Amino acid sequence: MSLPFEKPIDDLEAKITDMRSYAEEQGIDLSEEIGLLERRLEQLKRDTFANITRWQRVQVARIAGRPTGLDYVANVFTDFEELHGDRTLGDDPALVTGLARLGEQTVIVMAQQKGRDTKENILRNFGMMHPSGYRKAMRMFDLADKFRLPIIAMVDTPGAYPGLSAEEQGQAWVISECIQRMSRLKVPAISLVIGEGGSGGALAIAVANRVLILENAIYSVISPESCAAIRWRDSSEAPQAAEALKLTAYDLLDLNVVDRVIDEPLGGAHKEVDATMAIVKSVLLQELGDLLKLDEVSLLEQRRARFRALGRFEEVLEAA
């Protein structure tokens, strides 16, 4: 669960562990030395993560052991009841949906789910949804409107599944419909990018009143690898592409693509899962509390205006 750039941290941690067990074995007091190293470790971690490159951020966003959608469902929410199926094509395991409580409030929660191991990855199709998954999401939007339940959507996908059957079943059609359906919600909607926000497949469940992102998560129009393959004709240029795409949480905050960045424990969400869950829960409670003060019309208008305003361009005087 460590990345190449974290090696100095791992080495120092190993050294501290060794010193501790040595001190214990020999019955000697090395607390002063250990304390010194621990302070150095803390500083090293801070320095490392303060200077992390965008590509390293991508690696943290995808690291094995990083909390997945279901981890948030289990730890941030209570009383979760999973609901299956899109009523047309099937049930897409890449999107988990259901009823739950966030604090006192009943909500509809949906989470794109990557696998936590190879077996689950295959079952969940690495979090890449088929048209059926987007239909399931739309079914949940209907349910949310009918019972006046807020939507909380967790985004974590490399993108919509680029396969034969997905195209045959109208992947593009169902994504545009899902974007439109979500934009029409009469209830509060919050989307939280927890890992990888991959292109239209992510956006389809992120047309929310508030779009939040974890500090080490990414959200991009294309993966760095695919971007490199197209623009550099070499997918090994992905680190450069990651830099160019400005796909990190704070980049996206600057571009108004996201509304708020949720800081993670030092080293990433996977280092201190309980702390991550606690932070996410408190932020979601606060954000939902604010949205619950808005009426149906204001929610619709705010969401529409939010997305209508996105983009950067300049006015020119003469028409061309």
Site of interaction with another protein (CB under 8 A): 160-164, 166-173, 175-177, 179-180, 183-184, 199-200, 203, 207, 219-222, 226-227, 230-232, 240-241, 244-247, 251-252, 255, 257, 303-304, 307-308, 310-316, 319-320
Nearer to another protein by Cβ, of 45 and 54: the residue is 54
**CB of 132: closest distance to another protein in angstroms?**
15
Nearer to another protein by Cβ, of 220 and 276: the residue is 220
Nearer to another protein by Cβ, of 123 and 230: the residue is 230
**CB of 82: closest distance to another protein in angstroms?**
27
Tokens of 165: 């059957």
Identify which of 72, 63, 73, 82 has the alpha carbon closest to the alpha carbon of residue 268. Answer: 63
Please list, in sequence order, all residues whose beta carbon lies within 8 angstroms of the beta carbon of residue 1, skipping any fewer than 6 positions away.
63, 64, 65, 270
Half-sphere exposure of residue 201: CA atoms within 13 angstroms, side-chain side? 27
- For residues 159 and 145, what is the distance between their CA atoms, to the nearest angstrom? 26
Q: How far is CA 130 from the centre of its chain?
A: 19
On whether the CB atoms of residues 207 and 182 are closer than 8 A, the answer is: yes
Nearer to another protein by Cβ, of 143 and 253: the residue is 253
| 83, 95, 129 from 123: Cα distances, Å | 17, 11, 11
**CB of 161: closest distance to another protein in angstroms?**
8
- For residues 256 and 246, what is the distance between their CA atoms, to the nearest angstrom? 12
Nearer to another protein by Cβ, of 102 and 247: the residue is 247
Nearer to another protein by Cβ, of 129 and 149: the residue is 129
- For residues 246 and 266, what is the distance between their CA atoms, to the nearest angstrom? 22
**CB of 219: closest distance to another protein in angstroms?**
6
Nearer to another protein by Cβ, of 147 and 173: the residue is 173
DSSP 206: -
**CB of 20: closest distance to another protein in angstroms?**
45
**CB of 166: closest distance to another protein in angstroms?**
8
Q: How many C-beta atoms surround the C-beta of residue 36 within 10 A?
A: 12
**CB of 171: closest distance to another protein in angstroms?**
4
